Amino acid sequence: MKISVSISDDLIAYVDQHVENRSQLIESLLHRWRKQQERQVLIEAALALDELDDDWSEEWEQAEITDWEASGL
């Protein structure tokens, strides 16, 4: 899909000096941003669960975090 965005001339000049493909850079940055957003949602959910005090063991929580991180989300 194509989109149009406005970016300052100096920023475009900088990008053009450092990458060959603007679209690829923007897509890569958006993927990273999405993963960061998804991670933040999971962190907030984990904190909410902690507040419920369901007596989860610290080891189980750490195992879940490790599994999640290994999944690449």
Q: Domain tally for the chain?
A: 1
Q: Are 18 and 24 in contact (CB under 8 A)?
A: no
**1: in domain:** no
Q: What is the pLDDT of residues 55-64, one digit of tens each?
A: 566 777 778 8
Whole-prediction pTM: 0.62
Q: What is the pLDDT of residues 17-63, one digit of tens each?
A: 999 999 999 999 999 999 999 999 999 988 887 777 655 667 777 78
Burial (CB count within 10 angstroms: exposed 0-12, middle 13-18, buried 19+), residue 15: middle
**4: in domain:** no
What is the residue range of 54's domain? 9-71
| pLDDT value for 65 | 83
Asked whether the CA dihedral 49, 53, 57, 58 is positive or negative, the reply is: positive
